[in-house]
Structure 1
Amino acid sequence: MINYDGLEDFDNLEDINKELQKRANLHNNKPIAEFEGLSPLQMGQLQNFPEGTSPLILNKLSEKGLEKCPLLVQVRFLIEKMKGGKEIKLTKTGALPTKLVKEIYGLGCLRNDDIEDGFSKLYKEGDVLEINLTRILLEISSLVKKKNGKLSLTKKGEKHSDDGNFILEEIMTLLFYKFNWGYYDGLGSEAIGRVNPAFSLFLLKKYGSKKRSAYFYAGLYFIAFPQIQDGDDSFRCYALRTFERYFKFMGFVTIEKESILTPADVRKTAFFDQLFSLKSK
């Protein structure tokens, strides 16, 4: 909080404004313990990541290196189907057709626990969260347009159809700032996890070399953002959304989980470390 003491010692409004600006700059650039040593300015920059300047840097990788991002591979598989003016015809409900759902699942990028454990069968898009999310992100992106129940690439999509780094940044930005992280669970506040997800990336970059409980990260997240903690399910909600779903789907973490009732243990992947760097001070 900015200190307003002593302003009465200044003779005019201009000097007061200059002093307030000086104090504001000091406050905004001061490391905060609750922010893991980041300043309010840096936390604000993370909220806009990957745009602008930030303590976290998104690196460009080779096309081979990008194959470690499961969600990106699935998105690019669909983009490939639409290159050269081709279209994907959706079902009456706006979903991908069954044949295409099975093709995507057959890539082996993301496995669905219910299908793998035999509780449900692979049939329609709605049966597989990981494929449903793929279609939604692509559909709301600037790369694709939907018309008369069909998906096709926009001019921008055609232009960047072979640029994996561009597509990755587009999909990650949509996932972080446009998609509702509570869409699949109904747990707690919609804000949990989705408020400043890049801060979670920062925490993973800092602590992820060692296997740790997802609740460890939840604790640090809610120290930084106590106002969005929402009841007893908050830690479980954060762990599920951030690690067991979206960071896992992006290939950022490996997950170990003893049972559905226990928190997952997570560790950052080599792909994550290659993709993100921390700005040197």
Structure 2
Amino acid sequence: MKSPSKPVLAAALHRYNDTPQPDFCGLSPAQMHPLLYQPLGPASVVQLRANVPDEVLNQVPFLRLTEAFLQLLQRETPLRLTPLGALPRKYLRELYAHGFLREEGLETGLFTLSREIDSLAITTLHQTTRLAGLARLVRGQLLLTKKGTQLLDPAHRPALWALVLDTFTNRFLWASHDGYPSQTVGQTGWAYSVYLLARFGQQPHPVSFYAAHYQRAFPFVLAEFTDPVYRTPLEQLTHCYGVRTFERGLNWFGLLGPEPQASVLYQPDQPLSASPLLAQLFDVQQAPV
């Protein structure tokens, strides 16, 4: 039997790449590629909206926390860190007191905010601020950079928002704050999760619903959960995905609503919906239903 010619194979591959796939929730492979590798690029179905007004950006908790930190650094520069390289207690409490991000252990009194590691949000903030080049460490002191000073200008706020999001999603390692075996779940394809939330988030759906869609799109991630002692691989994936994507991810950017309880965002049966902020921050091109 004669093998198909190269032009025939190329045409078949082209048709496949342009065909919506059920496993990609209606997106084609050609649409998934930029969503993975250039999540907010010009070819992606998820785009950041331009010229977002201040009243919208004011609702982004992690952006507000970053701005508060930069203002603190501007006031205190140089800010001397502890011998372990962490923020001193008084600054931790000042940042947390803004109330932009609440954490269950601190709110319930399970522990007090004595060290930087007591707050995952502030630990992440410290790391992302330096990764973004907004602050730098010099001989045990944290200094606001020229870039940080420039982006504190209200006229540059949209650029700061874009930088904070890019740093959090592409440079900061989401797996650094948990003990799950996978280094990639949640962060790989994070923009696909935004797509899913925009597509289905008008009605409440449980974490397991979104995790199942994620697993269908990226079936290889299931193989990273190999310890069946407490849960099945799918259950482990669902918990990991819920923690990283929702509890410590999209929730920190105000994309979940209304007022989700952070303590249960990783639970498989926890219903989630999209906040109005998602559509105000992102332009998401939806595939046909």
Is 1:174 aligned to 2:167, yes or no?
yes
AA aligned opposite 1:175:
F
Task: Report matched runs for 1:1-281 at 5 Å.
Answer: 5-7=3-5, 16=6, 19-47=8-36, 48-60=38-50, 61-83=52-74, 86-162=77-153, 163-229=156-222, 230=225, 231=233, 232-254=235-257, 255-256=260-261, 262-263=267-268, 264-279=270-285
1:88 and 1:30 map into 2 onto residues whose CA distance is 54
2:277 and 2:182 map into 1 onto residues whose CA distance is 30
Gaps of at least 5 residues in structure 1 are 8-15
Offset from partner CA, 1:54-101 (integer Å, 9 cap, x none): 111211311221111111111111112334893322211111111111
RMSD: 2.3
**Cα distance change on mapping 1:262 and 1:145 into 2, 3 Å:** closer
Shift of 1:249: 1.0
Shift of 1:178: 1.8
1:112 and 1:152 map into 2 onto residues whose CA distance is 27
Offset from partner CA, 1:115-169 (integer Å, 9 cap, x none): 1111101222111111111111111112222211222233332222222221222
Q: 1:10 maps to which residue?
A: none
AA aligned opposite 2:27:
L
AA aligned opposite 1:59:
R
1:209 and 1:24 map into 2 onto residues whose CA distance is 35
For the residue of structure 1 that corresponds to 2:56, the secondary structure is helix
Shift of 1:200: 0.3
**Cα distance change on mapping 1:261 and 1:176 into 2, 3 Å:** closer
**Cα distance change on mapping 1:117 and 1:54 into 2, 3 Å:** same
**Cα distance change on mapping 1:5 and 1:236 into 2, 3 Å:** farther
Asked whether the equivalents of residues 50 and 169 of structure 1 are also in contact (C-alpha less than 8 Å), the reply is no
Shift of 1:52: 3.4
AA aligned opposite 1:178:
R
Shift of 1:20: 4.7
Identity %: 28
In our comparison, the structure showing a higher alpha carbon Rg is 1
For the residue of structure 1 that corresponds to 2:248, the secondary structure is helix
TM-score, structure 2 as length reference: 0.85
1:260 and 1:157 map into 2 onto residues whose CA distance is 32
Asked whether the equivalents of residues 256 and 266 of structure 1 are also in contact (C-alpha less than 8 Å), the reply is no
